[in-house]
Each structure stands twice: as structure tokens, then as C-alpha cells.
């Protein structure tokens, strides 16, 4: 005698892989694929990366949440599949290499518009409304302990390049990732082959040489956050090590260089998403240095730049001014050299020293 089907089993019959991927596209995702909600062998690479001290001061990658990343079922006990989805964010404005103006503050392309966490979550929530009753799910947009890039690779969205970005053969690497854990087992996609080959453009172009060899075959390269411009201008709350500052150029929030030089991004499509269009494209350094905390909040509160906080942003602006030493920056820097926050004060004085040195030469 046949056993009666359980509600979950009948639900699984009503949710198909084809429907889920179609819904993802209809809800505004440019990339979508399915990975199994199981531990991945890449977790050991993550452990080794942490053990080598590559996470710098990012405690959320090394504390108790590290172990949570081992198995996605820590996030949803009933998870059997993961929908990995991406949204393109490359807008038509030029890259920093093309702009080539050291008096303009460079903000990483991903932070030009609205906060991607909110944009992607809204699309996942729209998709969740289409799920059959009884399907359990959890949405993760870069805020939960999940190895998003590894599961995106398992879902067939791309390979992980030497610059540690996920690269899609047809669409490049300019896209945001999010995940939806599902309590239904669905056929998984297949990871694509690594197509970086012998190319080392990202490694060669990194101003601080933050892409370092692992000493093993796979992965052969990894990111040392302690050398990365993005880490120091976004995550770190301390003064940047002085030997690194000159390499930062005009970067005040993040860095796109390793993506800008990637051959797979030559023909990367541009987004039409209104939320990702720039609110303040490469603003003048003088203007950014003069921002009050209230003005900073009004300009950046709903963008990723908010993560650096006002004090961190001012510290970064001082560094950029020191790398484009001009006499007209002195009055602003002299004011910032009296700032209550030690890192701002230290970077402002360093920038004044760079100006004094340039004037003597």
C-alpha cells in the first residue's frame, strides 16, 4: 500500500526548478541558479585563509560565525536547496583609470547608488510571494554567515577569479549576489570551469599587491585584506598603515581596479536599474572634506558608503588629499588635523606633510 504523501512532498511537486528560475528573472534578477544546501569543500579554503591571518580586522569572519558558514542548514534547518541570484550594477560612467583626475574622490562603483541590500531583498521578497504554501525559506543578502560566492559558483553563476570575484563568462563580475534558502530539493546546476587561465592582470594592477599566492594549486591566489584598499577604506576603523597610503590614490571608499582590468569585464553589460545610478559620481575632494556630519548623512545614508561612517570617510578623504598635494587643500586639512577622532587627525597631518614636501620640491 502506498504511503500518503506528506505536505512537504506535495509542495515539492508544485515547485519546479524551471518555475523558480523563471520567477527570479521576472522579479528582476539577471543571473540565477540552484545549489545544494550542503557543506562545500571550499570551506576548508576559507579556514586556511583565516588561519593565515588574511581576514585582517574583520572579526565577523573569524568569530563564532565562522563555524556557522560550514553548513547553510545552520541558517535554515529544513534547507535543501539554495537559489543564488545576481543583479548587474555597472552603470555607464567611466572607471577610475579613464577618469584620471586625482582631485576627484573615487567611490567604488557598487556604492554609487542605493544600498544593494535593500534592492536585492525587495526582489527576493517579491519572489517569495510566489512560493507554494508550506515552503520554508530564508533570504540572505550579504548579512548572514553564508559563503555566497562559493554557493554561487556551485549554482553555475560563474567561477571565482584570481581577484576572488565571481566572474560570469557572459556578464563579467559587476553584479550583486543574494541567496534564498529553500526547504525543497531541486536539481542543482553545475559549476563552470575556471577561465582565468594564465592571465595575471588583476594581480599586476593591484596598487598594494593585495592578491597573494597561497602556495597551493587550488586556489593559487587569495586576497590579503590587510593590504586591500577596500578593507582599509570601508571596514577598518583605525589609521591606515603609513607605507600603504601613497598607493591609495584618490580612493575614498572601496576599489575597483582588479575588476576594471579584468578582460571578462570588457563587454560587461550595463544596468538599467535606476537605484544603482550614481548619486555623487567622483565628487571633488574639497567638497567631501568640507562635509558636516549632517551633510554626510544626507548624501550617503541610504548608500553603502554609510558603512565607513563619517569619521572613516573623512580619514579616507585626507589620504586622497595627501596623494594629490595642493596648496588649496591646506586650510581644510589644518581644520581636520584638530579633529577629535585620532585617525582623522593623523591622516590630515600626514596629508599636510605631503603638501609641504611637494611645495619644497
Q: How far apart are CA 34 and CA 190, in angstroms?
A: 9
Q: How far apart are CA 96 and CA 112, in angstroms?
A: 13
348-360 pLDDT per residue, tens: 999 999 999 999 9
Mean pLDDT of all residues in 331-335: 98
Mean pLDDT of all residues in 127-152: 97
Does residue 219 have a cis bond before it (omega within 30 degrees)?
A: yes
Check residues 4 and 134 and name the one with the higher pLDDT.
134
User: What percent of the chain lies above the pLDDT cut of 70?
Assistant: 96
Tell me, what's the pLDDT at 99? Answer: 85
Check residues 5 and 127 and name the one with the higher pLDDT.
127
Enumerate the domain spans of the chain: 7-90+113-226+250-276
The bridge status of strand 159-160 relative to strand 166-167 is antiparallel
For residue 1, pLDDT beyond 70: no
Q: Which helix (H) or strand (E) holds 297?
A: helix 293-300
pLDDT band at 361 (very low <50, low <70, confident <90, very high): confident
Buried b (16+ CB within 10 A) or exposed e, 246-280: eebbbbbbbbbbbbbbbebbeebeebebebbbbeb
Instruction: Give CA 121 to chain center in angstroms.
Output: 16
Report the catalytic residues.
142
C-alpha cell read off for 59: 572579526
Within a 10 A sphere around the Cβ of 12, how many other Cβ atoms?
21
Which residues does 318 contact at the CB level (< 8 Å), separation at least 6? Answer: 289, 333, 336, 344, 347, 348, 350, 351
2-22 pLDDT per residue, tens: 333 344 445 555 899 999 999
For residue 118, pLDDT beyond 90: yes
Q: How far apart are CA 83 and CA 68, in angstroms?
A: 19
Tell me, what's the pLDDT at 14? Answer: 87
What is the chain's mean pLDDT, rounded? 95
202-243 pLDDT per residue, tens: 999 999 999 999 999 999 999 999 999 999 999 999 999 999
38-95 pLDDT per residue, tens: 999 999 999 999 999 999 999 999 999 999 999 999 999 999 999 999 999 999 999 9
Q: What are phi and psi of 144, to 5 degrees?
A: -110, 155
154-192 pLDDT per residue, tens: 999 999 999 999 999 999 999 999 999 999 999 999 999
Which residues does 184 contact at the CB level (< 8 Å), separation at least 6? Answer: 8, 11, 12, 15, 80, 81, 135
Q: Residues 251, 82: contact at Cβ < 8 Å?
A: no
pLDDT band at 97 (very low <50, low <70, confident <90, very high): confident
Amino acid at each position: 500500500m502506498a504511503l500518503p504523501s506528506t505536505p512537504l512532498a506535495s509542495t515539492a511537486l508544485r515547485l519546479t526548478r524551471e518555475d523558480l528560475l523563471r520567477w527570479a528573472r521576472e522579479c528582476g534578477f539577471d543571473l540565477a541558479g540552484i545549489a545544494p544546501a550542503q557543506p562545500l569543500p571550499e570551506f576548508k579554503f576559507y579556514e586556511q585563509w583565516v588561519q593565515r591571518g588574511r581576514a585582517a580586522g574583520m572579526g565577523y569572519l573569524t568569530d563564532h560565525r565562522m563555524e556557522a558558514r560550514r553548513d547553510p542548514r545552520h541558517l535554515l534547518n529544513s534547507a535543501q536547496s539554495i537559489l543564488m541570484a545576481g543583479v548587474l550594477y555597472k552603470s555607464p560612467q567611466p572607471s577610475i583609470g579613464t577618469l584620471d583626475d586625482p582631485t576627484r574622490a573615487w567611490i567604488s562603483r557598487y556604492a554609487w547608488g542605493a544600498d544593494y541590500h535593500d534592492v536585492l531583498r525587495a526582489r527576493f521578497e517579491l519572489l517569495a510571494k510566489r512560493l507554494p504554501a508550506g515552503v520554508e525559506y530564508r533570504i540572505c543578502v550579504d548579512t548572514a554567515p553564508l559563503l555566497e560566492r562559493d554557493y554561487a559558483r556551485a549554482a553555475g553563476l560563474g567561477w571565482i577569479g584570481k581577484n576572488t570575484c565571481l566572474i560570469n563568462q557572459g556578464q563579467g563580475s559587476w553584479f550583486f549576489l543574494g541567496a534564498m534558502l529553500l526547504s525543497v530539493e531541486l536539481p542543482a546546476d553545475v559549476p563552470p570551469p575556471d577561465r582565468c587561465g594564465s592571465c595575471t592582470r588583476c594581480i599586476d594592477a593591484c596598487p598594494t599587491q593585495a592578491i597573494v599566492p597561497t602556495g597551493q594549486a587550488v586556489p593559487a591566489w587569495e586576497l590579503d585584506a590587510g593590504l586591500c584598499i577596500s578593507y582599509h577604506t570601508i571596514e577598518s576603523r583605525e589609521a591606515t598603515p603609513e607605507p600603504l597610503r601613497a598607493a591609495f590614490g584618490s580612493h575614498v571608499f572601496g576599489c575597483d581596479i582588479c575588476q576594471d582590468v579584468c578582460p571578462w569585464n570588457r563587454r560587461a553589460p550595463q544596468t538599467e536599474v535606476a537605484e544603482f545610478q550614481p548619486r555623487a559620481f567622483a565628487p571633488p575632494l574639497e567638497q567631501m572634506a568640507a562635509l558636516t556630519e549632517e551633510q554626510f548623512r544626507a548624501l550617503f545614508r541610504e548608500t553603502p558608503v554609510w558603512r565607513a561612517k563619517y569619521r572613516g570617510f573623512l580619514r579616507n578623504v585626507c589620504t586622497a588629499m595627501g596623494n594629490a598635494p595642493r596648496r588649496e587643500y591646506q586650510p581644510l586639512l589644518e581644520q581636520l588635523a584638530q579633529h577629535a577622532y585620532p585617525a582623522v587627525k593623523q591622516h590630515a597631518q600626514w596629508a599636510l606633510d605631503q603638501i609641504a614636501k611637494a611645495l619644497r620640491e
